[in-house]
Amino acid sequence: MCERMEEMAGERFPLIGETFPSMEVQTTHGVMNLPDDYKGKWLVFFSHPADFTPVCTTEFVAFQKRYDKFRELNCELIGLSIDQVFSHIKWVEWINEKLGIEIEFPVIADDTGIVSKKLGLIHPGKGTNTVRAVFIVDPQGVIRAILYYPQELGRNMDEILRMVRGLQIVDGEGVAMPANWPENELVGDSVIIPPAKTVEDAKRRLEEYENYDWWFCYRKL
C-alpha cells in the first residue's frame, strides 16, 4: 500500500505556476523536446482521447481553423493521444482528404502512455484513453492555465484563444481580466485594476480610474 502511494505521488501532475515538465516526445513532425523547443513562444498543449473519433475530429478542425489567430499571438499548438504515430499520420491525412483541412501543428504519439501518466491525463475508468486536457504554457515554460474536459464534451477553442490573449495582457499591463472579457456585463472591454495596497492609494484610485468603489476600479486598454 505504501509503495503504491509513493508511486501515485510520483505521478502527480504539474500545477499552475510550475514549469512544464521536460520531456522528449515523438510527433508527426519528428522528435521534439518540451518545453525547450517552444522557448520564447506561448504554447497550447492539448490531449484528445483517440484518433478517428468524431468529437476529436471536430476539435482538430476547430484548432486548425484558428491556428493563424494563435500564431498572431506568438502561440503554437501541439496535440497528444495514446496512439502510435502512424495512426496520427493516417488520421491527419483523412482529415485533409475528406474534410479539406490540413493539420499544420504536430501531434504527439504517446503509445507508451509515459507522457500522459506524467501529466495526469489518463481518464479514470476509461481504460487508456486520455482526458481532453489543455495546458497553456508561457514563453518561459511556466504553466499558466490548465483545463480538463470529459471525453463527451468538446472544447471551446475561442475560449482558449481568449485565455492566451488575456494572459498576455495581464503580463504586459499588470491588470486582471473580468468575466467574459472583452464583453463583460459591468465594464465592457475594460480591464480590472489590481487591489490598492495603502489608504492613500485607495483614495487616489477614485480620482484616477472609472470605478464602482475604490476596490473595484477599471480602465480601457
| 3-class state of residue 131 by DSSP | coil
14/21 Cα distance (integer angstroms):
8
- Measured CA to CA in angstroms, residue 129 lies from 21, 26, 37, 79, 122 at distances of 21, 18, 26, 14, 6
Count, residues in the chain? 221
Write the CATH number of the domain with boundaries 2-154: 3.40.30.10
| Residues assigned a catalytic role | 56
Q: Amino acid identity, residue 197? A: K
DSSP one-letter string for 69-127: HHHHTTEEEEEEESS-HHHHHHHHHHHHHHH-----S-EEE-TT-HHHHHHT-BPTTST
Q: Residue ranges per domain, the chain?
A: 2-154, 175-221
What H or E segment, with its residue span, contains residue 209?
A: none
pLDDT at 48: 92
What H or E segment, with its residue span, contains residue 10?
A: helix 2-10
What's the whole-model pTM score?
0.91
Give the single-character DSSP code of 11: T
pLDDT at 124: 67
> Which residues on neighbouring strands pair with residue 25, listed in sequence order?
32
Mean pLDDT per 10-residue section of the chain, whose length is 221 residues: 37 87 96 97 96 96 98 98 95 98 97 89 70 95 94 94 98 97 98 95 95 97 93
Q: What's the chain's Rg over C-alpha atoms?
A: 20
Q: Amino acid identity, residue 12? A: R
pLDDT at 188: 98
CATH 3.30.1020.10, applies to 175-221: yes
pLDDT at 127: 61
DSSP one-letter string for 188-208: BT-EEPPPP-SHHHHHHHHHH
